[in-house]
Amino acid sequence: MYEYSAKCTDVINIDAIDLLLENNITVKATLRGIAQSDDSLTVTNAKEFIKKMILKQEVIVKCKLPIDIKSGKWEVDIYFNDLKNKKTFLNEELIKKGYAKPKS
Protein backbone atom coordinates (compact mmCIF):
# COMPACT_ATOMS: atom_id res chain seq x y z
CA MET A 1 0.00 0.00 0.00
CA TYR A 2 1.36 3.42 -0.98
CA GLU A 3 0.75 6.45 1.20
CA TYR A 4 1.02 10.16 0.36
CA SER A 5 0.32 13.45 2.07
CA ALA A 6 -1.82 15.77 -0.03
CA LYS A 7 -4.16 18.74 0.02
CA CYS A 8 -7.60 18.58 -1.57
CA THR A 9 -7.81 21.44 -4.07
CA ASP A 10 -11.16 20.65 -5.72
CA VAL A 11 -14.17 18.37 -5.34
CA ILE A 12 -15.28 17.52 -8.86
CA ASN A 13 -18.07 15.16 -7.91
CA ILE A 14 -18.89 12.60 -5.25
CA ASP A 15 -16.18 10.15 -6.27
CA ALA A 16 -13.55 12.38 -7.90
CA ILE A 17 -11.28 15.00 -6.36
CA ASP A 18 -8.17 16.97 -7.23
CA LEU A 19 -5.19 16.54 -4.94
CA LEU A 20 -2.02 18.57 -4.62
CA LEU A 21 0.73 16.18 -3.57
CA GLU A 22 3.67 17.06 -1.39
CA ASN A 23 5.92 17.34 -4.49
CA ASN A 24 3.60 20.06 -5.96
CA ILE A 25 2.04 17.74 -8.53
CA THR A 26 -1.73 17.95 -8.93
CA VAL A 27 -3.56 14.69 -9.69
CA LYS A 28 -7.16 13.68 -10.24
CA ALA A 29 -8.17 10.87 -7.95
CA THR A 30 -11.18 8.59 -7.78
CA LEU A 31 -12.42 7.40 -4.42
CA ARG A 32 -11.97 3.64 -4.35
CA GLY A 33 -15.09 1.53 -3.85
CA ILE A 34 -17.57 4.41 -4.18
CA ALA A 35 -20.53 4.52 -6.56
CA GLN A 36 -22.44 7.77 -6.99
CA SER A 37 -26.11 7.79 -6.05
CA ASP A 38 -28.76 8.20 -8.76
CA ASP A 39 -30.53 10.87 -6.67
CA SER A 40 -29.37 14.39 -7.57
CA LEU A 41 -30.15 15.79 -4.09
CA THR A 42 -28.04 13.08 -2.47
CA VAL A 43 -25.20 13.84 -4.90
CA THR A 44 -25.38 17.56 -4.08
CA ASN A 45 -25.40 16.86 -0.33
CA ALA A 46 -22.51 14.42 -0.67
CA LYS A 47 -20.42 16.92 -2.60
CA GLU A 48 -21.06 19.57 0.07
CA PHE A 49 -20.14 17.07 2.82
CA ILE A 50 -16.86 16.25 1.06
CA LYS A 51 -16.07 19.95 0.62
CA LYS A 52 -16.80 20.64 4.29
CA MET A 53 -14.56 17.78 5.41
CA ILE A 54 -11.53 17.97 3.12
CA LEU A 55 -11.50 20.92 0.70
CA LYS A 56 -8.31 22.95 1.26
CA GLN A 57 -7.37 20.47 4.01
CA GLU A 58 -4.42 18.15 4.41
CA VAL A 59 -5.34 14.49 3.89
CA ILE A 60 -3.62 11.13 3.83
CA VAL A 61 -3.98 9.27 0.54
CA LYS A 62 -3.60 5.50 0.45
CA CYS A 63 -3.61 3.45 -2.74
CA LYS A 64 -2.63 0.01 -4.01
CA LEU A 65 -0.57 1.34 -6.93
CA PRO A 66 1.86 4.24 -7.16
CA ILE A 67 0.72 7.47 -8.78
CA ASP A 68 0.30 7.18 -12.54
CA ILE A 69 -0.04 10.77 -13.72
CA LYS A 70 -0.03 9.85 -17.42
CA SER A 71 -3.05 7.52 -17.26
CA GLY A 72 -5.09 9.90 -15.12
CA LYS A 73 -6.50 6.93 -13.24
CA TRP A 74 -5.75 6.79 -9.56
CA GLU A 75 -8.09 5.00 -7.15
CA VAL A 76 -7.52 6.08 -3.58
CA ASP A 77 -8.65 5.86 0.01
CA ILE A 78 -8.76 9.25 1.74
CA TYR A 79 -8.22 9.76 5.47
CA PHE A 80 -8.76 13.10 7.18
CA ASN A 81 -9.17 14.55 10.66
CA ASP A 82 -12.86 15.23 11.27
CA LEU A 83 -14.31 18.14 13.24
CA LYS A 84 -13.43 16.35 16.50
CA ASN A 85 -9.85 15.78 15.25
CA LYS A 86 -10.52 12.06 14.82
CA LYS A 87 -8.88 10.26 11.88
CA THR A 88 -11.74 9.34 9.53
CA PHE A 89 -11.92 7.20 6.37
CA LEU A 90 -13.80 9.37 3.85
CA ASN A 91 -14.78 6.56 1.47
CA GLU A 92 -16.43 4.60 4.28
CA GLU A 93 -18.01 7.69 5.82
CA LEU A 94 -19.80 8.52 2.54
CA ILE A 95 -21.37 5.05 2.49
CA LYS A 96 -22.30 5.15 6.21
CA LYS A 97 -24.06 8.51 5.80
CA GLY A 98 -25.98 7.26 2.75
CA TYR A 99 -24.26 9.69 0.34
CA ALA A 100 -22.81 6.88 -1.77
CA LYS A 101 -23.17 3.19 -2.30
CA PRO A 102 -20.45 0.57 -2.49
CA LYS A 103 -19.20 0.02 -6.00
CA SER A 104 -19.97 -3.50 -7.13
Per-residue pLDDT, 82: 82
Q: Are 59 and 3 a contacting pair, CB within 8 Å?
A: no
Question: Which residues make Cβ contacts (< 8 Å) with residue 93, sequence separation at least 6?
Answer: 53
**Contact assessment for residue 27 and residue 19, using Cβ atoms and an 8 Å cutoff:** yes
Question: Could you read off the pLDDT of 18-42 as tens digits, one per residue?
Answer: 999 988 988 899 999 998 888 888 8
Distance (Å, whole) CA 70 – CA 95? 30
Q: Identify the CA nearest to 26 among candidates 43, 47, 9.
A: 9
pLDDT of residue 85: 87
- pLDDT value at residue 76: 94
Q: Could you tell me the fold of the domain covering 2-102?
A: OB fold (Dihydrolipoamide Acetyltransferase, E2P) (2.40.50)
**Where along the chain do its domains lie?**
2-102
